[in-house]
Structure 1
Amino acid sequence: MKLSTFLAPALLAFGFVPATLAAKSFSASNLYYAAGLTEDQQATLFEGLQSAGVKVLRVWLDGQSGNTKGTEINDFGALEAETPGVWDDTVLNRLDDVMANAHGYGIKLLISIHSYNALDTKADVYGNWYGTGDFYTNTDAIGYFKRRIDHVLSHVNPHNNKPWSESSEYIFAIEAQNEAMHGQENVSALEAWQCNMAEEIKNGLKGSTDILISTGGGAWLDNSLLDSYFNCDALDVLAIHAYGIGDFETSKLKPYVKRAQDAGKMLIMQEWGACYTDASNNDCNGGTPLDAGTRDINIKAWAAKISAAGIPSFYWQILPNPDPHHGWDYEVGINDVNWDALREASVAAGNTEAAFDFGHWLL
């Protein structure tokens, strides 16, 4: 066992990595509809991610269908479509295969149990019954969602015959919801909900610390890292979502790194991306395509700033197919335009010194 792996829990308690250990950072990516990939698509994706040194893939449990970001996927429904507690486990069963496949490439999954997007678009029972407001405060909604967490954690993967709560060889971390209360209309309610759900996940893990508990980020740097998150005992990882280029600055990130270390938390840049067009990077919808070389420079420069702060970064998103350049266009396809630059940046991230030692939770 590596020294850094043996000492990881103790280091986490103190919130810093001693220089003598020189822990390395890592890179990761998102593909929210990964449960819909065919075996061939998974092979393309994981071979590409492995070549880029990617260690974690973040996925969601919301239903998806049809052509998504140019990927012809196998449709799967919402985990709870019309009634709380009436389960369609297709997404869980599909991800059983995905996580076992990913393991062979040295990659674990970060599981997002739900997404704010499903509330906003009324894509499932929670969106239809509670919407983006009542979901976080309604007593019934909170009870139903805790039952969803328990159902997910108790789901048994036939590849290892263990529930997900015990499948640390496959799962890096679990979060309750992607971008909970995205607009933060009620900050106190959000803070209470986030820690409450983290405690439910912690209870489901039954004392194990081999799977991390994360937040699901916010809309930008500052609203991803609310004050109470640093004081919630059940949270291990605080996730940053940022697309404004000012939020990539090392000097802006480092104070949060210090605060996380002092609180015994770890940070990840869970979503970031470089716009394909000349639109504002935090509003990448429209505009004129950038010269490929200019975007290459952006990808490498911004990734380097995040890495210089010692924070692992998850790119939004790496696709197993050419990027079709739909709206909100941050994606990069494997072996497509800008792939070499992103792969170079990703490999470089894994060779930089980290502010937090994640070694215990990576393959």
Structure 2
Amino acid sequence: MAAAHFKVSLSAFAFLLTLFLQVVHVHGANSFAGSNLYYAAGLSDADRTTLLSGLQSADMKVLRVWIGGQSENQKGTTITTFSDLEPDSPCDGDDSCYDDTILKLLDDFMVAANSYGVKLLITMHSYNALASNDAYGKWYGIGDFYTDSTAQSEFDARLEHILNHNHTSLGKPWKQLSDYIFGFEAENEAMIGDGQSFVEDHQQWQCDRAGTIKGQLGNNSGILVLTGGESWAAESVQSDWLSCDALDVISIHAYGTGDLSTSALKPYVQQVQSAGKKLIVEEWGACYFDTSNNDCPSGDALPTDTRNGNILNWAEQIDNAGLPWLYWEVLPNKDPHDSVDYEIGVVDDPSWSTLQQAAQAAAQVTAAFDFSEYLL
């Protein structure tokens, strides 16, 4: 009996030790920072090098890019013009209909990014394009796009086309490129123009699209599936997404200063931890103007010291909640201070060294979620 009791006790001890080591592993992981640049696919070689070397110098690990048409000049950056993947109408799986130009541009970009220790988070569509009457906006509008079954089927075909795009130099489909791709999300800020109640009432749209993505990736791809965020923190974390098997990461977008405090973010951390998922602040920024931080179209320039203090403070608040973050946006050029200005340029920007400092600090913070296996 004593020997049997000893074996049981030893077995229980081994179990508890394993559990303890798992907890230490999760909570011992470091956080990270990154950035967004929706038009990154169109950068010249020189601008791409400037951007990626800047991100590397800041120890930024992820760059979020969008699949959607862009032209000529964006945020003071001269880019190669490219059309959307579906320039005129939903292609519904017809390979001859898709314009793969942007996918091929991103083929080159992701290889370059990898050499600087950066992976891409790929946003496969944006509400911004829908509201600007892209192929889906023209056919369905901003409401029916999310409720019409044909629209959903056609959009799923878009997602599948992207995931199965064969990389022009690596010779593998994107869905197998975990060394280059951090994650996929169906849409940037889905449904935001329809209001918070619409988002709450149509949570299944997000889960269904995640199911389409995960159905192509499989469960062990090494690539994450994210939500793409909403207008603010409470809208970004919906209860049904926490129970959606196909979603790995809930993305918070937050520009209101109240949402950027540690005390405001920690309850979401606890919610998401309890659901067994991950959480990231995917968009945030410090307004260049002296207007409200979440309403930043114009105004007088803030004193540089004030803006830099905001950057350090809010980044630290996010860090203290244990969350990784992606800044909106790091530019490869001097910021022209166009309307709605959160951008910080790698070139000649008095706030760039401050953002570098904040990003480097994030990499030293203990995270609430372990993303290490998805980073370079």
TM-score, normalised to structure 1, is: 0.94
Q: Deviations over 1:270-322 (max 9, x none)?
A: 00000001100000111110011110100001000001100000000000000
Task: Please tell me the residue identity of whatever aligns with 2:324.
Answer: P
Secondary structure of 2:246's aligned partner = coil
Q: How far apart are the structure 2 equivalents of 1:295 and 1:187?
A: 33
Cα drift, residue 160 of structure 1: 1.6
> RMSD between aligned alpha carbons?
1.5
**Map of 1:227-242 to 2, 5 A cutoff?**
227-242=239-254
Aligned to 1:180: 190
Q: Deviations over 1:128-165 (max 9, x none)?
A: 11121000011110000010011000001123211000
Task: Please tell me the residue identity of whatever aligns with 1:43.
Answer: T
Aligned to 2:290: 278
User: Does residue 1:202 correspond to 2:214, yes or no?
Assistant: yes
Aligned to 1:142: 152
Cα drift, residue 209 of structure 1: 3.5
**Map of 1:22-61 to 2, 5 A cutoff?**
22-61=28-67
Q: Is the 8 A contact 1:180 1:190 kept in 2?
A: no
Instruction: Provide structure 1 residue ranges, at least 5 long, that are not aligned to the other structure.
Output: 1-12
Q: How far apart are the structure 2 equivalents of 1:317 and 1:17?
A: 34
Q: Is the 8 A contact 1:137 1:189 kept in 2?
A: no
The percentage of aligned residue pairs carrying the same residue is 52
Cα drift, residue 81 of structure 1: 1.3
Aligned to 1:119: 130
Cα drift, residue 127 of structure 1: 1.2
Secondary structure of 2:202's aligned partner = helix
Instruction: Provide structure 2 residue ranges, at least 5 long, that are not aligned to the other structure.
Output: 1-18, 92-96
Count of residue correspondences: 349
User: Does residue 1:82 correspond to 2:92, yes or no?
Assistant: no
Q: Is the 8 A contact 2:89 2:139 kept in 1?
A: no
Q: How far apart are the structure 2 equivalents of 1:309 and 1:188?
A: 25
Q: How far apart are the structure 2 equivalents of 1:360 and 1:207?
A: 14
Q: Is the 8 A contact 1:100 1:159 kept in 2?
A: no
Secondary structure of 2:366's aligned partner = coil
**Map of 1:1-363 to 2, 5 A cutoff?**
17-18=23-24, 22-85=28-91, 86-122=97-133, 124-182=134-192, 183-335=195-347, 336-363=349-376
Q: Deviations over 1:31-65 (max 9, x none)?
A: 00001001111000000000000000000001000
Q: Is the 8 A contact 2:230 2:253 kept in 1?
A: yes
Moved over 2 A (4+): 16-21, 187-190, 206-209
Secondary structure of 2:61's aligned partner = strand
Task: Please tell me the residue identity of whatever aligns with 1:264.
Answer: G
Secondary structure of 1:295's aligned partner = helix
Task: Please tell me the residue identity of whatever aligns with 1:248.
Answer: L
Q: Is the 8 A contact 1:17 1:23 kept in 2?
A: no
Q: Deviations over 1:18-37 (max 9, x none)?
A: 37861100001000000100
Q: Deviations over 1:220-246 (max 9, x none)?
A: 000000111111110000000000000
Q: How far apart are the structure 2 equivalents of 1:152 and 1:190?
A: 24
